[in-house]
Amino acid sequence: MSLMEQIYKEVIVERSRRPKRRGAVDPRTHEQEGLNPSCGDELNLTLRVAGDRIEAAAFEGQGCAISQASADLMAEALEGRTLEEARALHAAFRAMLRGEPPAAELGDLQALQGVAKLHARVKCATLPWTTFEGAMQGRSGPIDVDVEPEAELPS
Amino acid sequence: MDDAVVARLRADFPILTRTVHGRPLVYLDHAASSQRPTAVLDAVHEHYVTRHANVHRGAHQLSAESTDAYEEARATVARFLGAPSPRSLVFVRNATEGLNLLARSWGDAHLGPGDEIVVTVAEHHANLVPWQQAAQRTGAVIRAVPLGPDQRLDLDAYRALLSPRTKVVAVAHMSNVLGVVHPVAEIAEAAHAVGARVFVDGAQAAPHLPVDVAALGVDAYAVSGHKMLGPTGIGALWVEEELLASMPPFLGGGEMIRTVEIERSTYADIPMRFEAGTPAVAEAVGLAAAVRYLEAVGMEAIWRHDRALADLALERFAELDGVRVFGPVGSDRGGIVPFVVEGVHPHDVATALDSEGVAVRAGHHCAQPLMRALGVQSTVRASTHLTTPTSEIETLVRAVRGARDFFAAFA
């Protein structure tokens, strides 16, 4: 399989062109804008959280196939999960993008595994998740993907 | 330059022999940063191995030799830019720092409420944001020259913007996105007629075409070493000598003073007044080696080469359905080719090219207002230099066709 085929799985191109969770949740409890200032990708994530459970998630914005598909798959994966489960999913997603074998709980998100092979594109896949974390922290103003630590500090 | 000449030049650039994702590297991102010939790497190495010490304060031999090398580098870069004297050439980190120096030092001293700063919609953020900051500090106002229908600057609109309120015109010599050379001499003449200064961002032009600041008739010109085969962390700002001598310091510290008391200081003469702290000595030496390399190849030859490659790329892309190229066609167009593939995001195109070993940039190219003017969020950008053979343009076009077809194959 070529590098392109490993990265641009059918589901990624499909979701970027025909997303299932594009739009805005209404009524919503959380809203967060995410930006990748270096490339101009932008995302507006809306969520409805009841108690500790995410009832609905949706996104609007524009960007590359990887960021759009990642946002769509994330919004779908978040729905119905508790906040604790969502954070665990994020951790598993990040581990996969560091090159670790994908955890089973990632489900459709495993389609983004190939992105780990291209350091230049990892931020595209993590932008939606960084935006989600910002929404959970109740940040004011847009969050930049650049605030995300690029690498672990040497120990 | 024919491909045999280019092949000989390529042998001077060790990095060009590497592979990327199992393919030979096709480096078409020179507008972002060029690569370095061995002569530059050797010059930096030789400096550290044989003579390095701090400059301008040495009571010992190494310091004297380092100072000589540093000042010789200044003279070399000044000559390269057509500066009448090395005294008017300040070493900075890069063109961005040079432009910030102008906006801070000259801008704060000369701008006031209601004064106008004329920029162009095609400016790199480095020649826009410092002026926005200056405008915020001083109450000056920014006016922007739009593009005409041929994606060249609209010079009629430019002339209409000029008035006695215009204090400075900040313009790039060559657009880092559209590859077009702006008619800077004409722009300067019109600006001077209303008493405005003309400060030029030369980051893209200086590596690719002959520059003569005296002949252009401009007041200041900034370049980045890393785009012209030199090291990172070094650039140069030329300012017309009388003007530079009248400007207050930008950064304070050692080297830039004459006498210092606890509450006040007097400042050194130019150019030292603008070089606070220990300068990038080895990098300046490397930049001088880069300049000598460019001069040996010949700036006219490099410019003709870039133009021929741009013509070839534009011709090939015109044959590709679904690919849209930006920027004018003509003898004022250098080797920078921005494009989009219909229905595919530029970053996805760039990844497809990267997977074939073809290095290009995708994004807004630090020119968001220009992206808006072109009606796109971002573009792919291929850029050439003296080491680009025609075969790399063919590889680029083949890879773009492959990317288009790859994404078209999905339903």
- pLDDT for A38: 78
Range of the domain at B179: 41-296
Give, as one character, the DSSP assignment of residue A127: H
Q: How many other C-beta atoms are found inside a 10 Å radius of the C-beta of residue B312?
A: 18
Contact in structure between B80 and B103 (CB atoms under 8 Å) = no
Give how far the C-alpha of residue B255 lies from the chain's centroid of Cα atoms, to the nearest Å. 27
From B296, B330, B363, the end of a domain falls on B296
Q: Which amino acid is at B357?
A: G
Provide DSSP, B31-71.
TT-----HHHHHHHHHHHHHT---SS--SSHHHHHHHHHHH
Tokens of B357: 């070993």
CATH number, position B316: 3.90.1150.10
Interval B45-90: pLDDT, tens: 999 999 999 998 778 999 999 999 999 999 999 999 999 999 999 9
A119 touches chain B (CB under 8 A): no
Tokens of B343: 């229905």
B364 touches chain A (CB under 8 A): yes
Give how far the C-alpha of residue B237 lies from the chain's centroid of Cα atoms, to the nearest Å. 11
- pLDDT for A152: 47
- Our CA-based measurement puts residue A84 at a distance from the nearest CA of chain B, in whole angstroms, of 33
Burial of A29 (0-12, 13-18, 19+ CB in 10 A): middle
Residues in chain A: 155
Identify whether residues B74 and B156 lie together within a single domain: yes
Q: Answer whether residue B65 is part of any domain.
A: yes
Identify whether residues B86 and B177 lie together within a single domain: yes
Q: Answer whether residue A149 is part of any domain.
A: no
Are A39 and B348 within 8 A, CB to CB? no
CA-based max dimension of chain A:
45
Q: Answer whether residue B35 is part of any domain.
A: no
Range of the domain at A76: 3-139
Q: Which amino acid is at A17?
A: R
Interval B263-317: pLDDT, tens: 999 999 999 999 999 999 999 999 999 999 999 999 999 999 999 999 999 999 9
Give, as one character, the DSSP assignment of residue B202: -
From B233, B263, B296, the end of a domain falls on B296
- pLDDT for B341: 98
Q: Answer whether residue B14 is part of any domain.
A: yes
Selection from A122, A130, A118, A148 nearest residue A74 by Cα: A130
Strand order through the sheet with B197-201: B89-92, B235-239, B220-224, B197-201, B166-172, B116-120, B141-145
Buried b / exposed e across A95-104, counting CB within 10 Å, b at 16+? ebbeeeebbe
* Mean pLDDT score, A17-40: 92
Identify whether residues B67 and B173 lie together within a single domain: yes
**Interatomic CA distance for residues B155 and B147, integer angstroms:** 9
Q: Answer whether residue A145 is part of any domain.
A: no
Nearest by CB to B355, from A4, A64, A66: name it: A4
Residues 332-351 of B with CB under 8 A from A: 344-348, 351
Give, as one character, the DSSP assignment of residue A69: H
Q: How many other C-beta atoms are found inside a 10 Å radius of the C-beta of residue A86?
A: 25
Q: How far is CA A42 from CA A77, A138, B159, in A?
A: 20, 18, 37
Q: Answer whether residue B36 is part of any domain.
A: no
Q: How many other C-beta atoms are found inside a 10 Å radius of the C-beta of residue A56?
A: 21
- Our CA-based measurement puts residue A43 at a distance from the nearest CA of chain B, in whole angstroms, of 14
Are A63 and B345 within 8 A, CB to CB? yes
Provide DSSP, B118-168.
EEETT--GGGTHHHHHHHHHH--EEEEEPB-TTSSB-HHHHHHH--TTEEE
Give how far the C-alpha of residue A74 lies from the chain's centroid of Cα atoms, to the nearest Å. 5
Residues in chain B: 411
Backbone angles phi, psi at A28, to 5 degrees: -130, 155
Identify whether residues B382 and B358 lie together within a single domain: yes
**Interatomic CA distance for residues B285 and B45, integer angstroms:** 10
Q: Answer whether residue A155 is part of any domain.
A: no
Q: Answer whether residue B21 is part of any domain.
A: yes
Per-residue confidence at A140, pLDDT binned at 50, 70, 90? low
Residues of B in contact with A40 (CB under 8 A): 363-364, 368, 371, 377-378
Is B366 a known active-site residue?
yes
Q: State the angle between helix axes of A122-136 and A83-97 in degrees (0 to 180), rounded to the nearest 10.
A: 160
Q: By CA distance, what is A61's nearest residue in B?
A: B377
CATH number, position B175: 3.40.640.10
From B296, B316, B347, the end of a domain falls on B296
Residues of A in contact with B21 (CB under 8 A): 3
| Terminal-residue alpha carbon distance, chain A | 36
CATH number, position A100: 3.90.1010.10
A55 touches chain B (CB under 8 A): no
Contact in structure between A129 and A122 (CB atoms under 8 Å) = no
Give, as one character, the DSSP assignment of residue A154: P
When scoring A2, A64, A118, A119 by the number of chain B Cβ atoms within 10 A, the one with the most, hence best to mutate, is A64
DSSP H/E element including B223: strand B220-224
Are A121 and B347 within 8 A, CB to CB? yes
- Our CA-based measurement puts residue B341 at a distance from the nearest CA of chain A, in whole angstroms, of 12
Burial of B73 (0-12, 13-18, 19+ CB in 10 A): buried
Burial of B258 (0-12, 13-18, 19+ CB in 10 A): exposed
Contact in structure between B33 and B95 (CB atoms under 8 Å) = no
Identify whether residues B71 and B172 lie together within a single domain: yes
Identify whether residues B291 and B327 lie together within a single domain: no
**Interatomic CA distance for residues A105 and B218, integer angstroms:** 63
> Which residues does residue B265 pair with via DSSP β-bridges, in sequence order?
B260
Identify whether residues B256 and B347 lie together within a single domain: no
Residues of A in contact with B407 (CB under 8 A): 8, 13
Provide DSSP, B155-189.
HHHHHHH--TTEEEEEEESB-TTT-BBP-HHHHHH
Identify whether residues B227 and B347 lie together within a single domain: no
When scoring B351, B354, B361, B366 by the number of chain A Cβ atoms within 10 A, the one with the most, hence best to mutate, is B351
Residues 6+ apart with CB under 8 A from A18: none
Count how many domains chain B has: 2
Q: Which amino acid is at B17?
A: T
A17 touches chain B (CB under 8 A): yes
A118 touches chain B (CB under 8 A): yes
Portion of chain B with pLDDT greater than 70, in percent: 100
Are A2 and B351 within 8 A, CB to CB? no
Interval B89-134: pLDDT, tens: 999 999 999 999 999 999 999 999 999 999 999 999 999 999 999 9
Identify whether residues B268 and B368 lie together within a single domain: no
**pLDDT over 90 at A135, yes or no:** yes
Identify whether residues B292 and B393 lie together within a single domain: no
Rounded to 5°, the CA angle B20-B22-B28 comes to 35
**pLDDT over 50 at A150, yes or no:** no
Residue entry with tokens 């893209």:
B204
* Mean pLDDT score, B334-352: 97
- Sign of torsion over alpha carbons B165, B167, B173, B175: negative
Count how many domains chain A has: 1
B377 touches chain A (CB under 8 A): yes
> What mean pLDDT, rounded, does chain B reach?
97
Name the catalytic one among B32, B366, B373, B376: B366
- β-pairing, B358-359 vs B265-267, is unpaired
Nearest by CB to A38, from B351, B363, B411: name it: B363
- Sign of torsion over alpha carbons B181, B186, B190, B196: positive
Identify whether residues B173 and B228 lie together within a single domain: yes
Interval B218-275: pLDDT, tens: 999 999 999 999 999 999 999 999 999 999 999 999 889 999 999 999 999 999 999 9
Backbone angles phi, psi at A112, to 5 degrees: -90, 5
Q: Answer whether residue A134 is part of any domain.
A: yes
Q: State the angle between helix axes of B299-318 and B390-408 in degrees (0 to 180), rounded to the nearest 10.
A: 30
A66 touches chain B (CB under 8 A): yes
**pLDDT over 60 at B147, yes or no:** yes
Are B410 and A40 within 8 A, CB to CB? no
**Interatomic CA distance for residues B268 and B255, integer angstroms:** 8
Identify whether residues B53 and B146 lie together within a single domain: yes
Q: Answer whether residue B158 is part of any domain.
A: yes
